[in-house]
Structure 1
Amino acid sequence: MPDKKPDAEATKNPKKANLLDHHSIKHILDESVSEIVTSRGYVEDVRMSNIRLVMGTIIIVIALVAQFYKKKFPENRDFLIACIALYVVFNGLLQLIIYTKEKNAILFTYPPVGSFTSTGLVVSSKLPRFSDLYTLIIASSDPKSVSANEPVQFTKSVTQWFTKDGVLVEGLFWKDVEALIDQYAREPKKSK
Structure 2
Amino acid sequence: MQEKKQKPKKTNVLDHSSIKHLLDESITEIVKSKGYTEDVRLSNIRLLLGTVIIVIALFAQFYNKKFPENRNFLIGCIALYPSLFYGILQFITYTKEKNAILFTYPPEGSFNSTGLVVSSKLPRFSDMYTLTIASADPQSISAKPPVELTKTVTKWFTKDGVLVEGLLWKDVEGLINDYAKEKKSK
TM-score range for the pair, normalised by the shorter chain length: over 0.9
Q: TM-score, normalised by structure 2?
A: 0.95
- 1:32 maps to 2:26: yes
**Structure 2 residue 56 is matched with structure 1 residue 62:** yes
User: For residues 101 and 189 of structure 1, do their structure 2 counterparts lie closer, same or farther at Cα, with a shift above 3 Å needed?
Assistant: farther
Is the 1:150–1:187 contact (alpha carbons within 8 Å) kept by the matching residues of 2? no
| 2:133 aligned residue (135, 138, 149) | 138
Q: Select the residue among 105, 108, 111 that pairs with 1:113.
A: 108
* 1:86 matches 2:57: no
**Structure 1, unaligned stretches of length 5 or more?**
1-7
Query: How far off is 1:21 after superposition?
Result: 0.5
Deviation of 1:188 (Å)? 1.7
The structure 1 segments of at least 4 consecutive aligned residues displaced by more than 4 Å after TM superposition are: none
In 2: Cα distance, 1:55 partner to 1:32 partner: 28
SS of the residue aligned with 1:93? Answer: helix
Do the aligned residues in 2 keep the contact of 1:42 with 1:111 (CA within 8 Å)?
yes
Which of 167, 171, 174 in structure 1 is aligned with 2:162? Answer: 167
Deviation at 1:187?
4.3
Tell me if structure 2 keeps the 8 A contact 1:147–1:189.
Answer: no
1:117 Cα deviation after fit: 0.5
1:20 aligns with 2:20: no
Superposed CA offset, 1:146-189 (max 9, x none): 00000000100000000011000000000000000000000428
Distance 2:47 2:86 in 1: 12
Q: Distance in 1 between matches of 2:17 and 2:184?
A: 35
The answer to whether the aligner puts 1:147 opposite 2:173 as a matched pair is no
Equivalent-residue separation in structure 2 for 1:50 and 1:12 (angstroms)? 31
Residue 96 of structure 1 aligns to a residue whose secondary structure is helix
Partner Cα distance (1:51, 1:164) in 2? 40
**Displacement of 1:12:** 3.5
The percent of aligned pairs where both chains have the same amino acid is 74
Query: Across the two proteins, how many residue pairs are aligned to each other?
Result: 183
Cα offsets for 1:58-103 (capped at 9, x unmatched): 0011011101111000000111111111112101111111111100
- Given that 1:135 and 1:155 are in contact with CA atoms closer than 8 Å, whether structure 2 keeps it comes out as yes
Unpaired runs of 5+ residues, structure 2, are none
Question: What corresponds to 1:5 in structure 2?
Answer: none
Choose which of 88, 93, 96 in structure 2 pairs with 1:98: 93
